[in-house]
Amino acid sequence: MKKGILFTGGLQPDFKIALEYIIPCDFICGADSGITVAQENGFCPDVLVGDMDSISDKSILIKYPPEKIHIYPRNKDFTDTELGIMELEKAGCDYTVLVGGGGGRADHFFYLYESFSGRFHPDLWICSQNLIFFVKEKESFSVFLPEGFSPVNFPVSVFYAGKNTGDQVPLCYGENLTWPVDNLDWGKEASMSNCPDGRVFSIRPQRGNFILVLPLVNGIRFCSSRF
């Protein structure tokens, strides 16, 4: 599996925690000010994209070969993050991690949320306060809480990651969650700030893909399998 990382701008996670979920990686892309974020945390991007309008010191680009730098006009029909996701796809990445992109403009957040319903999307989004996982249809995704972490202080949210066209009724099962998710109308509802009923819980999308939102803390273990 080829793991790709995209560093983008916006609010950033605590890298003392985030690095646990980033390393190792095979391909790195920096989008606009995400280039600076990558460098400051010891990463050297394989490709740089964006209009570079958020980089105050353009001299940081000098160290990179011209063929690795793809500068776009500011007036364009793609966000810098979207351009970065395209680069991960072109590089043949099988598992993609988006770092940053939180806070700021509400429309940027909604774009990132909508990107999870697209054909190529992040498998994990590490933003300033959360780990956000894409969980595929027919995938059982289990989460093991960190040692010493109380379930009541571990909020869990689940959202449908798709377009509500009426062609398919989304269905997701959960295990060891305080409030059941099995009978939610995912076209109108979500499971917000649920709580694990123990140290291990799981979700199992039966129809459609889903997003699982967890707090950004050290020591979370997770595994998935197809069913």
Model confidence over 164-178: pLDDT tens digits? Answer: 656 678 999 999 999
DSSP category for residue 120: S
Q: How far is residue 124 CA from its own chain's centroid?
A: 3
Domain boundaries, the chain: 3-128, 135-226
- pLDDT tens digits, one per residue of 114-127: 777 777 889 999 99
pLDDT(218) > 70: yes
Residue closest to 34 by CA, chosen among 77, 82, 75, 78 = 82
Sort strands 27-31 and 47-50 into parallel, antiparallel or unpaired.
Answer: parallel
Residue 29 class from Cβ within 10 Å (0-12 exposed, 13-18 middle, 19+ buried)?
A: buried
Secondary structure (3-state) at 85: helix
Fold (topology level) of 3-128: Rossmann fold (3.40.50)
- pLDDT tens digits, one per residue of 56-71: 788 888 889 999 999 8
Q: What is d(CA 216, CA 128) in angstroms, rounded to the nearest whole number?
A: 8
Q: Give the per-residue pLDDT at 170.
A: 93
DSSP E strands: which ranges in 113-181? Answer: 124-126, 130-135, 139-144, 156-160, 171-175
Distances (CA, A) of 122 to 85, 179, 220, 222: 8, 27, 19, 17
- pLDDT tens digits, one per residue of 67-117: 999 988 888 878 889 999 999 999 999 999 999 987 767 777 777 777 777
Q: What is the mean pLDDT of the chain?
A: 91
Q: Give the per-residue pLDDT at 3.
A: 96
Average pLDDT over residues 6-19: 95
Q: What is d(CA 90, CA 106) in angstroms, rounded to the nearest whole number?
A: 28
* CATH architecture of the domain formed by 135-226: Sandwich (2.60)
pLDDT(53) > 90: no
